[in-house]
Structure 1
Amino acid sequence: MSTFTILKYDKTGRRNSLGQIIHDFQESSTFDGWIDFLGGEESISQNAITADSTHIIITFETRLEISISDRVRFKDRDYEVTYVDNPMELDDHLEIFLKAVG
């Protein structure tokens, strides 16, 4: 099991040269789960929402506040959240689909 950090897009408290508030991804919370790479056949067989996903995280923490506007950091690498699924709304686990960025 690995630990992941959720990054939320928010105000940084800094200002640019024009005096405007700078927004960036800020660490929000952490959770535990397992990450796996989606191979070519797996991502092709998924629907259009998850077609661009490169990785998936499985976690039993079903009360996470995470959405497609967030990012996840794992081992100093950031991933965009492309889709969050609670299979059959059973609240058993979450499947968080990711796309590697940067």
Structure 2
Amino acid sequence: MSLGIQFFGGDEDAGNVFVVETRAPAGQVLESHVHEHAHTSVLVSGTAKVTIDGVEEVMTGYRMVTIPKNTSHSVVAVTPIVWLCLWAGDLAPREQAEQSLKLMEA
């Protein structure tokens, strides 16, 4: 499994939608962060502790969740995970996502 955060799409060919793919081993955390725009996230595989606006839930993939705008959220990999975030590039610039996402040891 290639680990880390990768960005795909975001151009006209992709319908101005970009996907952020996070692949993390157990024990890593996608640090708490906030975005100005809502987005859809997908836990493709694995088990993660997902905290949205202070409410923690253990999720097992395949699972979709909507993250409201201006809401603090984080993802802790309980097992190895693949986590996707789908963004409308015309509402939220890719640079905003790149600056806000950090993968760290829990």
Bucket of the pairwise TM-score, normalised by the shorter protein? under 0.3
Higher RCO (C-alpha 8 Å, min separation 6): 2
Larger Rg: 1
